[in-house]
Structure 1
Amino acid sequence: MRIRTSLAIATAAGAVALGAFAVPAAQADEAPAAAKVSSFVNGVKADAAAKAGAKAGVRSGVRYVDGDVTIDKVTVNGNEDIVAGTSAVKTVNIYVTATDPEGIYDADAMLWHGTDFENDVDGAVIPEQEADCDYWSATSATCKITVKVDPKTDLWDSMLAGKWNVYAAAIGNDGDLMQDDSYKNVWIKRAAQITSMNAAPEPVKKGKTITATANLSRASWSYLKYYGYGSQSVQLQFAKAGSSTYTTVKTVKTSSTGALKTTATANASGTWRFYFPKNGTTSAATSAGDYVAVN
């Protein structure tokens, strides 16, 4: 969006005011997200209005959804889940492909969390810079919008983990505007990790039992620390010496504190590890491998 620095001013423009996004006082922690979304959308509308006015000479207001501009495709983070830990900022690229008979002027996108775009927004990730557009034909363009997901500011509570909405907008050279508050969904997940992996004894006689232990934890955005992830199904896997292919030996559950402990029969030398498949709120995780020689 070409007027990124004018978003705050745009909220005062009556012709483009968004009139909603009222947030109850009890939801004070959520208010900044709703305010960011409101300001962002007003800025998109103001940008389209300015472009329409520049071409038409005189024009008031803005066409919100009508016109012949279309959004053809939106790709977020390479169609992969967005995984956030407790400190590192995650850079996410959003690509918006759009078409208009008059050509594309600009496109924009953001991520938001909530149940209703106008009345219940409790999380938002907004781009801070203009889109970088590749005008690959006279009528079409693909614009890259970069957002940064900061667990310290954007993910203020762990309840934000899971499904988010992708807002996308495109503006034609004639000022036509298409915007979709939920063009598609993307999942922002809490990072998981498996630590302290150990398989023992080492070495071991063929046919004897080895004991594998580890700990599964996941990021808490509420407290910016990792805590044990209890009652989760985790796979114990094994790869024979000289092979990088792992097979699942058994599935076990973590304790209430995320601890893992199980046994298996050692029939060949190789590497043991634990693997946790992703779920709706938490990323997948793989432990370090522990090699056990069989005599």
Structure 2
Amino acid sequence: MRIRASVAVVTGALALTALVVPAAQAADSAPSFRDAAAKFVKAAHTTSGKAAFSAATAADPKPYPLNVTFSGLKIGKAYKVGTTNHVAFSVSYTLTHGADVDIAAADFMTGPILYKGSLSDPANFLGGEEPASCTVTSSTTATCKGNVDIYPADGELLNSDAGSWNAGAVAIAWNGQLNATNPDITKIGYAEQGGLGKTLIQRYSKLTVNASPEPVKKGRTITVTGKLTRANWETNKYAGYGNQPVKLQFRKKGTSTWATLKTIQTDATGNLKTTVKASADGYFRYSFAGTSTTPAVNATADFVDVQ
């Protein structure tokens, strides 16, 4: 499981103990929600993908199963992530809890999570820096809304992570142990639930176009070049997206409708080049329909004056 590059993930009670902060250091050292959630998820699945918190022993103490479930999760269909900019988006869900769970406690945390693969052994994991905000709707339910934060420049994503991600939610009841001098892990409650939704995390795409010569005489050949690139999360740069179908489109001056003239393929490094005959004043653009890993994009139109 990969999370922020600065955070080490270990298993078992050791991972959870590392999250407990002495009161004197709490103001500066308290973990972000995403770091806490990632370590709890990792520690909860110790063998064969089965949650082991209910099998705590004196030798291997664990948090107790928290009486919390989640439903009605709402998340967008897709999110574009570039090379450096922080990306944040909100996720909402309903939290249902037992009468013994105090969700108004200062050290109760809940929030949405995204994971690649299975929750029992996620290939990657994302969450929010801050816990979700919850509004009580009854004695046992609340509506919650929280962010998922992505920092591509921190090495959080590999290019292979592009595509479908699963969504879920977690809750942690610290019960006074977060800032305790001698924390008792068994007093911490934890609940998780995966499979509540899906979304796409995509490599941000760019597309250019240049039509020349301009101006040009009617009937002469116009050469249209361009390039399709997308974010490379491993180099924090943009790289050509090769062997992809891209449409060359034309919009006559004074109209609002784009007509597709032809579809061509990018070369191995994402470059585009084709020719057309000059017929009338108008705008040329390339248009890419997108894939599950890379969003659709249109080039900024280039005007050609036909004389």
- Give the TM-score normalised by structure 2: 0.67
Amino acid at match of 1:213: T
Equivalent pairs counted in the alignment come to: 245
Amino acid at match of 1:230: G
In the TM superposition, what is the alpha-carbon distance from 1:247 to its structure 2 partner? 2.5
**Secondary structure in structure 2 of the residue aligned to 1:223:** coil
Aligned match of 2:80: 83
Aligned match of 2:25: none
Aligned match of 2:114: 111
CA distance in 2, matches of 1:36, 1:101: 22
Change (3 A) 1:129 1:222: same
In the TM superposition, what is the alpha-carbon distance from 1:255 to its structure 2 partner? 1.0
Aligned match of 1:187: 200
- Out of 266, 276, 290, the residue aligned to residue 288 of structure 2 is 276
Alignment of structure 1 residues 117-196 onto 2, 5 Å: 117-119=119-121, 121-136=122-137, 140-153=141-154, 155-169=156-170, 179-195=192-208
Aligned match of 1:48: none
**Secondary structure in structure 2 of the residue aligned to 1:152:** helix
In the TM superposition, what is the alpha-carbon distance from 1:272 to its structure 2 partner? 0.7
In the TM superposition, what is the alpha-carbon distance from 1:128 to its structure 2 partner? 1.8
Q: Which runs of 5+ in 1 are unaligned?
A: 1-7, 18-33, 45-59
In the TM superposition, what is the alpha-carbon distance from 1:62 to its structure 2 partner? 4.4
Whether the aligned pair in 2 keeps the contact of 1:104 and 1:141 (CA below 8 Å) is no
In the TM superposition, what is the alpha-carbon distance from 1:150 to its structure 2 partner? 0.8
Q: What is the root-mean-square deviation in Å for CA atoms of aligned residues?
A: 3.6
In the TM superposition, what is the alpha-carbon distance from 1:71 to its structure 2 partner? 3.4
In the TM superposition, what is the alpha-carbon distance from 1:224 to its structure 2 partner? 1.3
In the TM superposition, what is the alpha-carbon distance from 1:72 to its structure 2 partner? 3.5
Amino acid at match of 1:184: G
Change (3 A) 1:163 1:205: same
Question: Residues 254-290 of structure 1: CA distance to partner in whole angstroms, max 9, x if unpaired?
Answer: 1111110012233322111111111021122221110
CA distance in 2, matches of 1:243, 1:170: 54
Whether the aligned pair in 2 keeps the contact of 1:233 and 1:252 (CA below 8 Å) is yes
CA distance in 2, matches of 1:269, 1:137: 64
Amino acid at match of 2:145: K
Change (3 A) 1:293 1:11: same
State, as a whole percentage, how many aligned pairs show the same letter.
34
Question: Residues 128-176 of structure 1: CA distance to partner in whole angstroms, max 9, x if unpaired?
Answer: 212112335666432111121111225342111111111224799xxx9
Change (3 A) 1:62 1:193: same
CA distance in 2, matches of 1:245, 1:40: 53
Aligned match of 2:73: 74
Q: Which runs of 5+ in 2 are unaligned?
A: 1-8, 18-33, 45-61, 104-108, 174-188
CA distance in 1, matches of 2:144, 2:85: 26
CA distance in 2, matches of 1:128, 1:294: 54
Alignment of structure 1 residues 1-295 onto 2, 5 Å: 12=13, 38-41=38-41, 62-63=64-65, 71-76=70-75, 79-99=76-96, 105=103, 107-114=110-117, 116-119=118-121, 121-136=122-137, 140-153=141-154, 155-169=156-170, 179-195=192-208, 197-295=209-307
In the TM superposition, what is the alpha-carbon distance from 1:94 to its structure 2 partner? 1.1
CA distance in 2, matches of 1:36, 1:63: 16
In the TM superposition, what is the alpha-carbon distance from 1:252 to its structure 2 partner? 0.5
Change (3 A) 1:163 1:126: same
Change (3 A) 1:209 1:72: same
Amino acid at match of 1:222: E
Change (3 A) 1:73 1:171: farther
CA distance in 2, matches of 1:128, 1:80: 21
- Give the TM-score normalised by structure 1: 0.70
Change (3 A) 1:42 1:213: closer
CA distance in 1, matches of 2:43, 2:130: 13
Change (3 A) 1:43 1:138: farther
Amino acid at match of 1:290: D
CA distance in 2, matches of 1:149, 1:38: 14
Amino acid at match of 2:206: Q
In the TM superposition, what is the alpha-carbon distance from 1:104 to its structure 2 partner? 9.2
CA distance in 1, matches of 2:136, 2:224: 55
